[in-house]
Copies of this chain bind each other. A is one copy, B any other.
Amino acid sequence: MKRPTMADIAREAGVSKGAVSYALNGRAGVSDETRRRILAIADQLGFRANSAARALAGAQAKVVGLALPRPPATLGVEPFFMELISGLEAELSTRSYALLLQTVPDETGEIGLYRRWWSESRVDGVLVCDLRVHDQRVTILRELGLPAVVIGPPSSAGGLASIWSDDQISMTEAVEYLVALGHRRIARVGGIPRLAHTAIRTRAFGEACERLGITEATTVSTDYTGENGAQVTRALLCRQARPTALVYDNDIMAIAGLGVAHELGLRVPADLSIVAWDDSPLCRLVGPPLTALSRDISAHGVQAARMLLSAMEGSPVEDVHDEPAHLSPRGSTAPPPQGSRP
């Protein structure tokens, strides 16, 4: 099959290629009648602008890039990214933008990828996630002048537009709820420490516990995998005075924690309360369903895509403070067992 080009349309309509371009892109330069005729012919021929030619001629590539800074193995089980991607997709596809995905092993790899995307003119803009406290990526992106939106706290976004939800509020809500239930020994199975949002959560957890007089509050770090979450949970539950409540930084580890409780013969929530973060449908499927800090990640993605699209158009973009995750109490939280109450 031969692809129809603008020259074909121009010939058919008896106008110049330039006129076709103006008509197709809805710009001034052609009369309404000519425009209509051109559009009709384009439609009839099933014309689609060649994206390479368009990009080369200085227009946009109509592609947005997303580097996934996690090892492929982790990605498969982490519902967060897929939910984010479906949100991004939902917005991008209505505007005929494609999403270019690539996994990267580490920060250096990611920076290399941005440089490559930039020098190949492959993408019009990028979304950055998993912000670190001092993140080099934002510096590079500003240097390259590649439009970018950060999915993470503005405090680490280095001046790039950012969209985030305030994890401090959510963490405080979770701790207050557990304390209200009567828990005094609370531990947190935290995420990767160098990530900016992990740092925020860790601080919030510590502060909330201190304020409420919880002295036995621990945070243990993990790599977010279920295996690691299980391992840490096992260690915590085998302690002399084991915690009566656990707060997890993602849902996969919370589910793993539930499995470990089961393995140790502890009843959830009678012997142990569990709170998950990032409420994927999984949390509602397990028995008992997990109390979780939930927010609409997909909507977060839609919003992030919108911001990037405006940034790419050159409009000034405000930071967006999305709704924080709120606690959805379900079957995995209850007052602590009698013996451990104050």
Residues on A facing B (Cβ under 8 Å): 1, 3-4, 46-56, 61, 63, 72-73, 75-79, 81-83, 85-87, 89-90, 93, 98-103, 115-116, 118-122, 143-145, 225-227, 229-230, 252, 255-256, 258-263, 280-282, 284-289, 297-298
Contacts and interface: CB of A to CB of B under 8 A. Distances in A.
Nearest to A99: B101
21 contacts: A1-B143, A47-B119, A51-B120, A52-B54, A52-B55, A52-B56, A63-B100, A72-B90, A72-B298, A76-B82, A76-B86, A86-B103, A89-B101, A93-B103, A98-B101, A229-B285, A255-B285, A258-B286, A260-B287, A262-B286, A262-B287
Contacts of A225: 281
B83 A76 contact: yes
- Within the oligomer, what is the number of copies of this chain? 2
A73 B85 CA distance: 10
Contacts of A120: 48-51
Contact of A252 (B81, B252, B285, B297): B285
Given A1-B144, A49-B120, A143-B1, A298 B73 contact: yes
Contacts of A56: 50, 52-53, 56
A109 B297 CA distance: 25
A97 B89 CA distance: 20
Nearest to A122: B51
A259 B281 contact: no
Contact of A259 (B122, B263, B287): B287
Given A85-B75, A298-B76, A226 B285 contact: yes
B100 A100 contact: yes
Contacts of A260: 287
Given A230-B285, A259-B286, A262-B286, 18 more contacts: A3-B118, A47-B119, A48-B120, A50-B121, A52-B52, A52-B55, A63-B100, A72-B90, A73-B298, A76-B298, A77-B82, A81-B82, A225-B281, A226-B284, A252-B282, A252-B285, A259-B289, A282-B282
B145 A227 contact: no
Contacts of A49: 120
Nearest to A282: B77
A63 B115 CA distance: 17
B119 A282 contact: no
A114 to B, nearest CB: 12
A93 B63 CA distance: 17
Contact of A102 (B52, B98, B226): B98
Most chain B CB inside 10 Å of its own CB: which residue of A78, A83, A100, A281: A281
A286 B258 CA distance: 7
Contacts of A255: 282, 285-286
Contacts of A46: 115, 119
A241 B84 CA distance: 43
Contacts of A262: 286-288
